[in-house]
Structure 1
């Protein structure tokens, strides 16, 4: 077992998280999220896949230069071209890392058609090449949890001998069970020469809902790095959630006596920001950061909370960046009150952003008798970006029992205002058709979802729209007291994110069929 109880937090929100179908972040949003991760104390930020596209390379490179504390890592497949490109992107970081991988399970060995000896040779060559470039090299045997134990020990030893300083054990498809996760780490520590000289990491997916349990089991067995994402964002069912493993070690320090460098009071802010920029809302009952995580409706629970909060809360809301407050917001509230309220909700707002938000807050307060916390959160997290090519300027609809339902819309497209009128099966359908008339696109509507932010007839509606175009998926969100306006904004936002997706192009499959999306 390692002598230290310090567990490093390796965040891959910007790489594995952004590989979620529909999750799209602009260049500026990636830099912003990286900055928030750095501020909260994340040890290693996996900033992206440099060879995937010019946009990914530029993002990784700029993040590497900007981070003040965290190690900045890029991902590379097991070939010299990927590794060289990765090093070029991270080399100017205060603390750079190359992370290279190859699939080692029988299923993955068959894809590049390599036998065990050929794959072992490739691992030796590529890890050696990476170490010759960078002093900090992480190696991952993708699909490690379905790799034969003897072969896994063999290739881990080869990677260590070649110079890997961190060995990551990915549960790539979320297949393993906590006891197995721990057994793999123990086996490697016991059987592999040199295992005590490097750091073992764990990278778990949530396909069976056990990512957090598997990660913590690996730590108990001797792993000292957890790979995770904010909100558990990631491919398929997602990755280990950063907020869950960090708070589990904090709350259950009696049986998980491990330390991290995370400032947990910053969790809620970055959770909301990632939800906004990725277009993936946090489910209400999500552990730690869900809307209902600290809500109590049962009479017995409410009575217990009034007498002693610890009866039904195992952590304090302020531990994750929330604060109880009685400050009521309305149309007479000023800038100072708004800033204070937002700070209590976990948002630190700069001067220019506060000015813009204050205008929108006043507009909302004029339409609502009382502005609730959730209304403010929806206002702050509207994901309209400065880079958006399309913006909604005006919308007027005619609807009712007698048709035709009509939408008259004005959009600003690349700085030029255009107008169109369309009819449809209801006001939302008419609105979407009017948008398409002004900006034709091949996106197919996969999801249209509406829910009320708060109660009452003047409640804001939050609308989610998901579009698919040739395998690219983009999600947009918006909130407004007018459901049709919220729908139009969400639809326009999804189109803007689809345009960002179009700009991202995957590299050719130059490793005998191993796509970059196969990363663990």
Structure 2
């Protein structure tokens, strides 16, 4: 890498997955990891292997199948965590163990029940242990920005001597400000005597809305690695947003004088995939990837943009992968045009995936006159959600209206048999969900329901996301159709299918542990 290059360390699959309500299975994590590779991030933090069997398997799968990118796994400063991370990472082309321990007095006293000296010794011993297993070891001092600076410098100096190749400065609770962060970074540069032997990194949370600003400040002051998540996902208010950090560095290269290797034309595609798989929608006014990011409503803005884009656009939609091609697909469009559109939109699918997407496209084209780019994206992203179809929707019928009790009848196919059931509800969607529960013999808690239009117009695709609960766990489902009732039914069945698979997997895992 060049001297001015910034290492983009993506932690969407670890810290991002800790977003409340988000739970990704191994296949979904692999799908995102492959797209992160297409995005050309430098390192993927694939998970926290000791946290669960599912996390371990996901890290192991990504390590084995995603090449040409660093794969990192998180571990507390303990041998058990490090051993588990090492086992998951063994198949990686460029593995990294990320060891952390808290260093702030508030964490030492109330969480770890350790003295400063005990924490320092633990950090040194575990970094040395991790380094004995793997060549690249990252060390994070959790809650670094609320730690005593002299003590923090001593910890970093000691872990570098023990073998840490990257030292990370986390603003764990989003407490610091850009000015303070700059002072801390410069202090560590001058007070950690062997700082030249390790790469400096930062990991910023967004509790005060300054994660991106703090990350960019770090880049300006020479920090080599920035930790980010797609769409700014993460615990509480989230992390520094990958798309905002990258596009700021690219757009204001004159100021930051730093380079990133990220393929910015894959940003929108990545954001859409992560949003779909996590069920966390991107707000319309979100910088870079929001629906309004390149929209202009005010007359004076519209006039300016039509005359010269740069009047109100500091970057182009094309630079993040938004297409403005005028080729329109419809029911008479052939496979060649469809494949060309997929490539234009940044998709690299195998033959089977193209076949499935093309069939879905043809079904949609019979119902909708014009197929827009957003429709194609929705079709492909919806098919990317790998949930085994234990139950399949055969049909749904509803009776509803003013002063009429909504009633739904559904047919659900399982292994060649169609089960029918009918029920009433407070509305047509509620009636459909109750009928599905009756047909499959499962009672679940509906935790969230979200409907959005993929495009405009009366023939717009409706995309439904539902969250259901069972046995203290949450399961996500997605459905897509011009008919919002059908989309709702498909989303509910998708969530039930995931529940069936994951609860079965969980039970099998527990039996294996025993």
2:382 maps to 1:382: yes
Residue in 1 that maps onto 2:97: 98
Distance in 2 (alpha carbons) for counterparts of 1:71 and 1:434? 47
Q: Displacement, 1:223?
A: 1.4
Instruction: Note closer, same or farther for the CA distance 1:486–1:9 as it changes in structure 2 (3 Å cut).
Output: same
Unaligned runs of 5+ in 1: 509-520
Residue in 2 that maps onto 1:63: 62
205-214 or 274-283: bigger deviation? 274-283
Is the 8 Å Cα contact of residues 75 and 86 (structure 1) preserved in structure 2? yes
Residue in 1 that maps onto 2:482: 481
**1:138-287 alignment runs, 5 A limit:** 138-287=138-287
**1:90-129 alignment runs, 5 A limit:** 90-109=89-108, 110-129=110-129
Is the 8 Å Cα contact of residues 7 and 226 (structure 2) preserved in structure 1? yes
Deviations 1:333-390 (A, max 9, x none): 2222222333333333433222222222222222223223333332222254253433
2:407 maps to 1:406: yes
Instruction: Note closer, same or farther for the CA distance 1:471–1:490 as it changes in structure 2 (3 Å cut).
Output: same
Q: Secondary structure, in 3 states, of the residue corresponding to 1:10? A: strand
2:347 maps to 1:371: no
Is the 8 Å Cα contact of residues 21 and 473 (structure 1) preserved in structure 2? no
Instruction: Note closer, same or farther for the CA distance 1:65–1:380 as it changes in structure 2 (3 Å cut).
Output: closer
Instruction: Note closer, same or farther for the CA distance 1:467–1:143 as it changes in structure 2 (3 Å cut).
Output: farther
Q: Displacement, 1:466?
A: 2.5
**1:456-471 alignment runs, 5 A limit:** 456-469=457-470, 471=472
Instruction: Note closer, same or farther for the CA distance 1:400–1:349 as it changes in structure 2 (3 Å cut).
Output: same
Is the 8 Å Cα contact of residues 26 and 500 (structure 1) preserved in structure 2? no
Residue in 1 that maps onto 2:84: 85
**1:21-36 alignment runs, 5 A limit:** 21-36=20-35
Higher helix share: 2
2-11 or 361-370: bigger deviation? 2-11
Is the 8 Å Cα contact of residues 387 and 497 (structure 2) preserved in structure 1? no
Deviations 1:95-118 (A, max 9, x none): 211101112222321212111111
Residue in 2 that maps onto 1:472: 473
Q: Secondary structure, in 3 states, of the residue corresponding to 2:111? A: coil
Residue in 2 that maps onto 1:133: 133
Q: Secondary structure, in 3 states, of the residue corresponding to 2:170? A: strand
Number of aligned residue pairs: give it: 506
Q: Displacement, 1:83?
A: 0.4
Residue in 1 that maps onto 2:452: 451
Distance in 2 (alpha carbons) for counterparts of 1:111 and 1:441? 40
Residue in 1 that maps onto 2:52: 53
User: What is the TM-score with the length of structure 1 in the denominator?
Assistant: 0.91
Deviations 1:404-433 (A, max 9, x none): 321111234577543321111121111111
Deviations 1:277-336 (A, max 9, x none): 222222222222222222222222222222222222111222112221111222222222
**1:293-308 alignment runs, 5 A limit:** 293-308=293-308
Instruction: Note closer, same or farther for the CA distance 1:388–1:76 as it changes in structure 2 (3 Å cut).
Output: farther
Is the 8 Å Cα contact of residues 322 and 346 (structure 1) preserved in structure 2? no
Is the 8 Å Cα contact of residues 96 and 136 (structure 1) preserved in structure 2? yes
Q: Displacement, 1:88?
A: 1.4
Deviations 1:12-47 (A, max 9, x none): 111111222222322222222222222332111111
Is the 8 Å Cα contact of residues 339 and 349 (structure 1) preserved in structure 2? no
Distance in 1 (alpha carbons) for counterparts of 2:138 and 2:506? 26
Q: Secondary structure, in 3 states, of the residue corresponding to 1:404? A: strand
Q: Displacement, 1:173?
A: 1.8
Is the 8 Å Cα contact of residues 387 and 498 (structure 2) preserved in structure 1? no
Is the 8 Å Cα contact of residues 265 and 320 (structure 2) preserved in structure 1? yes
Q: RCO greater where, 1 or 2, for CA within 8 Å and sep 6 or more?
A: 1
Is the 8 Å Cα contact of residues 24 and 277 (structure 1) preserved in structure 2? no
Residue in 2 that maps onto 1:6: 5
Residue in 2 that maps onto 1:17: 16
Is the 8 Å Cα contact of residues 322 and 344 (structure 1) preserved in structure 2? no
Q: Secondary structure, in 3 states, of the residue corresponding to 1:21? A: coil
Structure 1 residue runs of 4+, over 6 Å off?
none
Q: Secondary structure, in 3 states, of the residue corresponding to 1:96? A: strand
Is the 8 Å Cα contact of residues 97 and 138 (structure 2) preserved in structure 1? yes
Q: Displacement, 1:137?
A: 0.5
Q: Secondary structure, in 3 states, of the residue corresponding to 1:111? A: helix
User: What is the TM-score with the length of structure 2 in the denominator?
Assistant: 0.92
Deviations 1:179-205 (A, max 9, x none): 222222111111112112211111111
Distance in 2 (alpha carbons) for counterparts of 1:169 and 1:393? 53
Deviations 1:124-169 (A, max 9, x none): 1111111111121101111111222222222222211211110111
Residue in 1 that maps onto 2:437: 436
Q: Displacement, 1:449?
A: 2.5
Query: What is the CA RMSD across the aligned residues, in angstroms?
Result: 2.4
Instruction: Note closer, same or farther for the CA distance 1:414–1:281 as it changes in structure 2 (3 Å cut).
Output: farther
Q: Secondary structure, in 3 states, of the residue corresponding to 2:382? A: coil
Is the 8 Å Cα contact of residues 202 and 223 (structure 1) preserved in structure 2? yes
Is the 8 Å Cα contact of residues 181 and 215 (structure 1) preserved in structure 2? no
Residue in 2 that maps onto 1:511: none
72-81 or 344-353: bigger deviation? 344-353
Distance in 2 (alpha carbons) for counterparts of 1:233 and 1:67? 22
2:7 maps to 1:44: no
Instruction: Note closer, same or farther for the CA distance 1:501–1:291 as it changes in structure 2 (3 Å cut).
Output: farther
Distance in 2 (alpha carbons) for counterparts of 1:209 and 1:362? 44
